[in-house]
Structure 1
């Protein structure tokens, strides 16, 4: 089920979206949806979106990931390696995908945040999805499972919304970022199997 629903199905969706992006096809629903969302935005929502752009970006997630990796290293080397490869690997994969697809960013209204680089897939969405999914897997067999699932999902959804609200990404950019991040982490999890080492043990 993890292979089918968590890896293969997301990759099929991302592949289908990516094919249309490469062919420069437009998704009919995106511009109307973004304009509707923009019309219903408020200064307060815009400030929240700008805050999420910082919190959900690599400038916050990267140092936080470094601290968590050090904490994990003291408990389980295998878990620490899984965490580093999952999170840093997602960032590297995002960069490669942006270069491959090179989709221009939306230009529907003056953007509230200046972003450079390609649009597909959303880096913020991919980072947050990978980071949250990694944490969920690491605490899955503990009492923190459901708090991590609920709070992590809400955080990832909020980061994705913020990218559209700020006008820096299309909805399909966000969707592809989420799916790619989750699929990557689940694939790495299948290789490292951090749960195979009990807390306190150090894998060679």
Structure 2
């Protein structure tokens, strides 16, 4: 009898221990991938969603010379090409602290994010919108999913995971959300991405960075 009670308590303890991890796999990896799959199927079958162009036109209706300059400046912060130097700086800092799991996570998360974006764009081959001339050089690669959206989300999620329960985390969440939304706005404002490109980029980046963190578990190292 006593053994049965102990076994039951042990099973409950294991269930409580694994439940948050399971939830993260479902909410942080499974659902984003499912959402991206639906978006990808829609892009493949429809080309453009009915709500893509109206949202772009609505954003374009707010255009001013000041916003033009602001969008062109902010959008550079989300370029996939800022990842190598940023990853390098973070790698140096983590190596100095001897946080090897965190170092591995940063390198794989950010480098993998760029490679995944390149492969997905080449797979879908979605042409970029061209509803107006924004006055900025138009990217020559494909549109879906947005590399800027993936980059911004990857950076924010990686930083939040490394910060763990640090007192700086609420501020990182606030500025991270503002950064991600600002980058998304610039891509729509400049007319170089559909809204579905942005959403697809967010979902892929979340699934990749969260899934990788669950495998490597860098949050186990206190930063």
| TM norm structure 2 | 0.85
Output the CA distance in 1 between the equivalents of 2:93 and 2:116.
25
Matched, 1:7 2:29: yes
**Structure 1 counterpart of 2:207, from 183, 189, 195:** 183
Output the CA distance in 2 between the equivalents of 1:52 and 1:29.
25
Contact 1:55/1:61, CA 8 A, preserved across alignment: no
- Unaligned stretches of 5+ in structure 2? 1-22
Matched, 1:43 2:55: no
Contact 1:112/1:167, CA 8 A, preserved across alignment: no
Equivalent runs, 1:110-149 vs 2, <5 Å? 110-113=133-136, 114-149=138-173
Equivalent runs, 1:1-204 vs 2, <5 Å? 1-75=23-97, 76-113=99-136, 114-199=138-223
Q: CA deviation at 1:112?
A: 3.2
**CA distances 1:48-91 after superposition (whole Å, capped 9, x unpaired):** 21112211112333312211111012220110110111111111
**CA distances 1:113-136 after superposition (whole Å, capped 9, x unpaired):** 321110000000001100110001
| TM norm structure 1 | 0.93
Output the CA distance in 2 between the equivalents of 1:67 and 1:151.
20
Output the CA distance in 1 between the equivalents of 2:183 and 2:194.
13
* Segments ≥4 residues shifted beyond 6 Å: none
Q: CA deviation at 1:198?
A: 4.1
Please tell me whether Structure 1 or Structure 2 has the larger radius of gyration of its CA atoms: 2
Output the CA distance in 2 between the equivalents of 1:133 and 1:7.
13
Tell me how many residue pairs correspond in the alignment: 199
Computed over aligned residues only, the root mean square deviation of the Cα atoms, in angstroms, reads 1.3
Output the CA distance in 2 between the equivalents of 1:33 and 1:194.
38
